[in-house]
Structure 1
Amino acid sequence: MTDFQIKKPEIKDPQEIEDLSLKTISREAATYPAFNKFYPEEQKVAQRMIHTTTCFEQIINNIYFSDNATTRIKDLLKNGAAIITDTNMIKAGLSKNYTEKYGNNVICYVAEVPRQEGVTRTDTAVKKALEECNNKPMILACGNAPTFLYAAIEYIVKEKLEISNIALIAMPVGFINVVESKEYTLEFMQKLDVQGIVLKGRYGGSPLVVSTLHALYKAI
């Protein structure tokens, strides 16, 4: 133990750490051709996602933005849209400084609805939330369960919800139904002109949804 020396980090100020991290991300991200094709706000979203994960290639080469995704989501946020999520992790991770400022009610019923044979809790929870919102402006934010996307899309189509009131953030993670759910979501968005952001492939997760929303809150 006498040979061991306690060390301190060279940089300790939180803001300086964040600033240097984002500068590093900007520099490295610029080496990816796909990143340079993003609009400035799209780049900010990608940077925040990378800041959360350190994963450049998985994000830059797989993230999809619809034509007006960032503008639509910002407009919905600042006009008090509900945020319907598939995990309480997203609900807990979103800064109340933002959600309370703009009046965004974050809704997740997954832990509250009863189990039903042959149906996931997520399926039941998202339909309950959509019924409660009753065609009001909403952002559907998925970071875990692909069944959330299938259930949400089915409800939107069958109930003929107003598409201009809706935006999607689709970033479930895993091996079963995940890739397929994202491809299905992309088809839905493109055919019905729904705005949103999709992280294609198996990669995803609730922290990425939170970082995406925080990046767009910052851009308002």
Structure 2
Amino acid sequence: MNLEYVLPSEIEKRSFEIIESELEAPIPDNIKPIVIRAIHTTADFDYAKNLYFSENAVDTALEVLGNGAVIVTDTNMAKAGINKAALARHGCDCMCFMADEDIAETAKREGTTRAAASVDKAAKLGKPVIYAVGNAPTALVRLCEHIEKGDFVPELIIGAPVGFVNVVQSKEMLISSGVPCIVAKGRKGGSNVAAAICNALLYMLDNKKGFKK
């Protein structure tokens, strides 16, 4: 077997070239960096078909990130996967409340999940929020409840929980909410996918502003 020799610094670039060469159909330029990074993260070409983008979702995300938004994630794994240097370049921050003591106490007291309690905590930030969900459909459900009440409406929601219980339904609820969103439709997703989408958006903003990652 002949191995392809690729310099370490060129591996990501070469991977993206392979992905583009194997795509079954062209991807629109405005969403291509996001779709390709999701495929790169998972080696799953289904993301070329199952990523849903609401109207102007990408433009909205870039504007909000450019003004120093807070990204809130539903797992510390997703938070760890988001590029901190890119966040800093644009004056953004990333938070995850899942391991906070008050979240555990609130979830136990109210008989809900920590993911839902975290959404309630994020609602009190008083800042523009991009909410990235890669694990818990209950986070999406609680977000939709807040949206319906009008007391907390994130600038963008990334809906990529993975699994079987209420995963598909929660994503469809999000799409129906009318809030700007990027959604991995169906059962697939994960913290890595949520982080990959966030990173793709940050790198797109880098390119727009002439930064090098």
- The answer to whether TM tops 0.5 is yes
- Structure 2 unpaired stretches of 5+: 206-213
1:85 aligns with 2:64: no
Contact kept, 8 Å, 2:167 with 2:187, in 1: the verdict is yes
- Using the TM superposition, give the Cα deviation of residue 111 of structure 1 relative to its aligned residue in structure 2, in angstroms: 1.0
CA distance in 1, matches of 2:189, 2:140: 14
Indicate the residue corresponding to 1:3 in structure 2: none
1:157 aligns with 2:153: no
Aligned-residue Cα RMSD (Å) equals 1.9
Map of 1:66-215 to 2, 5 A cutoff? 66-112=54-100, 113-114=103-104, 115-116=107-108, 118-131=111-124, 133-134=125-126, 136-161=127-152, 166-189=155-178, 194-215=179-200
Indicate the residue corresponding to 2:13 in structure 1: 19
CA distance in 2, matches of 1:206, 1:41: 23
- Secondary structure of the residue aligned to 2:108 is coil
- Using the TM superposition, give the Cα deviation of residue 95 of structure 1 relative to its aligned residue in structure 2, in angstroms: 1.0
Contact kept, 8 Å, 1:107 with 1:129, in 2: the verdict is no
Q: Which runs of 4+ in 1 moved over 3 A?
A: 7-10
Map of 1:24-35 to 2, 5 A cutoff? 24-29=18-23, 31-32=24-25
Contact kept, 8 Å, 2:54 with 2:175, in 1: the verdict is no
CA distance in 2, matches of 1:120, 1:129: 14
Indicate the residue corresponding to 2:202 in structure 1: 217
Give the % identical residues: 39
Number of equivalences: 200
Q: Which one has the largest radius of gyration?
A: 1
CA distance in 1, matches of 2:2, 2:95: 41
Provide Cα deviations, 1:146-185, integer angstroms capped at 9, x if missing partner: 0011112212332444x5x611110000011101100111
Contact kept, 8 Å, 1:87 with 1:206, in 2: the verdict is yes
CA distance in 2, matches of 1:201, 1:129: 26
TM-score for the superposition, normalised by structure 1: 0.85
